[in-house]
Amino acid sequence: MLGLYIGAFLGMLSETSMNIALPALCDTFAITTGTAQWMVVGYMLAIGIVLPCVGFLLKWVRAKTLVLVALGCFLVGAVLSAAAPTFALLLFGRILQGVGTGIVLPTMYAAIMRVFPPQQIGAANGVAGLVIMFAPVIGPTLAGVLIGAFSWRSIFVLFAVVAAVAICLTAAFFVTPIETTRPKVDVPSILGSVVGFGCLVAGVSLVADMGFSPLVVGLLVVGVVVLALYVYRQLHIATPLLELRALGIAEFRVPAVMVTCSFACTLAVMYLAPQELQRGLGLDTTVAGLLMLAGGVVNAVCSFLAGRLYDRHGARVLARIGAVVAIVGAALFLMIGTATSAAFFVFAHIVIMIGIPLMQQSVQSAALKGLPRELAADGSTILNTMQQVVGAIGTSVATCLLTLGQTNYEAAGGTDPAQGFVDGARYGYVFALVLVVVVLLLSFALKEKREAR
C-alpha cells in the first residue's frame, strides 16, 4: 500500500500547496488573479470529473495498472509544469496532476477494503487519514520555503520526484486485489459528467475575468442543463455511473451538504489567506508559508480528535460547536488590515482551523453512517465528488468576490494596492462566513443513526 499512500499524500499536498504560489505565477506570466486561480480550480475540476468514473475503471482495468497510469499522469504533469514556458502549458500539466489524484484517492480506499483482513482495516484507514491530514499541514509552509529559496518551479520538481518514488513502490509491491468484472459502460453518463461539471465550473471560474458575457452564460446554462439530464439518467438506468439514490436518504443528504459547505469554506480561506499575507500585508513567500503552519497543525490534530469525539457525542453537538468557533474565526479574518500583526493572523487562523474540522469530520462520519452498507461505496464517491466540484466553484466565487472588492475600492478612489487586496479578501471571507452559517442552520435538521449501547 505504500505507493498508494504516497500517491494520496502527493495529491493532497498538491491541492493545498499551490495557493501560496499564485502571486508568483501572476508576476511570472503577467496574468490576473482570476486567471491564476485556474491552477486551483482546474486541478479540483479534473479530480471532480474523474472521481465518478473510477468505480467503473476499476472494474475494467487491473488496479495496479490503473494506479501506475494515474501516477504516470501526475509525473508527466509535474514535469510539464516545472518546465512550462507559458501559463497554458503550466495549466495543462496541472490538470494532468488532477486526473492522477482523482484516480489514486478512491483507489486507495477501495484497495484497503480488499488488501487488509477485517481486523486491520481500521488501522489501515487510520494511516490513510493521517496521510491525508498531514499534507495540508506542511503544504503551504513547504511551498513557501521552496519558493523563497528557489522559485515556484521547484514545487513541481518536488512533486515529480515524489511521484517517481510512488511509481517505483507501486510497481514493486502493490497487488491487484480488485476483480475486473467489465460491466456495461454507459457512455452518455460519462459524457454527461464531464460536460456538465466541466461547463458549470468553467463558467463560474470565468466570471472573475469576463463577467457575465455570452460565453460565460452559455457555459453555465449548458452545465446546468446537462447535469440535470445526467441526474435524471442516473436515477432511471439499471447500472448508473453513480448511485444518486443515496441522496434520497435524509440521514445522508443533510450531512453531505454540510460537509460540502465546510469543505468549500476551508478552500476559500486557504485560497485567500496566503495571498493576503503577501499582497495585503507585504510579507515574503517564506514568512507567509511559515505563518500558515500553526493553523495547519491545529487542523490536523482537531481532525484526529473529532473522530473520537464523534463516537461519544455524535455529529449535532460537534457541528454546532465547530460552526460557532468557525464563525468567530471568520469574524477575526474580517478584522485583518494592512497593519495587522502576524500574531493576530496566526490566532485567527488557528481559531477557524479548530472550528472547521469539528464540523467537517463529524458530519462526514454521520453521512456515511446514515447509508445502508450496499450504498457505502457510492456514498463515499458522492461525498468526494461534491466536495471537489463545489470546492472548485467556491474557490471561483471567492476569486470573483476578491476582484469585486478590489474594483469597488478603486472605484471609490483608493490607490493603495495592498489595501485594495485586503478589501477584496474581506468580500471572500464574508462568503466563507455565510457557508459556516449554512452549516450551523442545517445542524438543526441533522438526523443521526446511533448505535445501541
How would CATH label the architecture of 1-183?
Up-down Bundle (1.20)
383: confidence class by pLDDT, cuts 50, 70, 90: confident
Name the residue among 186, 152, 170 with its Cα closest to residue 66.
Answer: 170
Mean pLDDT, rounded, of the chain: 83
Domain residue spans of the chain: 1-183, 184-238, 245-453
Read off the pLDDT of each residue in 95-124 and give the average, rounded to a whole number: 77
For residue range 254-263, what is the model confidence (pLDDT) as tens digits?
988 998 998 8
For residues 260 and 243, give the distance between their C-alpha atoms in angstroms, rounded to a whole number. Answer: 18
Name the residue among 383, 347, 366, 355 with its Cα closest to residue 299.
Answer: 355
For residues 448 and 25, the model is more confident at: 25
Q: Which of 7-16, 279-288, 371-380, 384-393 shows the lowest mean pLDDT across its residues? A: 371-380
For residues 41 and 310, give the distance between their C-alpha atoms in angstroms, rounded to a whole number. Answer: 31
CA angle (94 as vertex; 221, 378 as ends), nearest 5: 60
For residue range 178-188, what is the model confidence (pLDDT) as tens digits?
666 666 777 88
Read off the pLDDT of each residue in 125-140 and give the average, rounded to a whole number: 71
333: confidence class by pLDDT, cuts 50, 70, 90: very high
pLDDT value, residue 182: 67
**What is the number of helices (H) and of strands (E) in the chain?**
17, 0
247: confidence class by pLDDT, cuts 50, 70, 90: confident
For residues 452 and 185, the model is more confident at: 185
Please give the model's pTM, rounded to 2 decimal places: 0.78
pLDDT value, residue 332: 94
How would CATH label the architecture of 245-453?
Up-down Bundle (1.20)
For residues 413 and 239, the model is more confident at: 413
Q: Which residues contact 9 (CB under 8 A, 6 or more apart)?
A: 131, 132, 134, 135, 162
Read off the pLDDT of each residue in 22-44 and give the average, rounded to a whole number: 83
For residues 171 and 387, the model is more confident at: 171
Most confident of 236-250, 287-301, 397-411: 397-411
426: confidence class by pLDDT, cuts 50, 70, 90: very high
For residues 189 and 242, give the distance between their C-alpha atoms in angstroms, rounded to a whole number. Answer: 9
pLDDT value, residue 178: 67
Burial class (CB in 10 A: 0-12, 13-18, 19+), 2: middle
pLDDT value, residue 324: 95
| CB count in 10 Å sphere of residue 343 | 9
Q: What is the dihedral of CA 49, 51, 57, 58, to 10 degrees?
A: 170
Cell 457510492, residue located: 378
For residue range 406-418, what is the model confidence (pLDDT) as tens digits?
889 988 888 888 8
305: confidence class by pLDDT, cuts 50, 70, 90: confident
**183 DSSP assignment:** P
For residues 47 and 117, the model is more confident at: 47
For residues 49 and 226, give the distance between their C-alpha atoms in angstroms, rounded to a whole number. Answer: 14
For residues 7 and 29, give the distance between their C-alpha atoms in angstroms, rounded to a whole number. Answer: 29
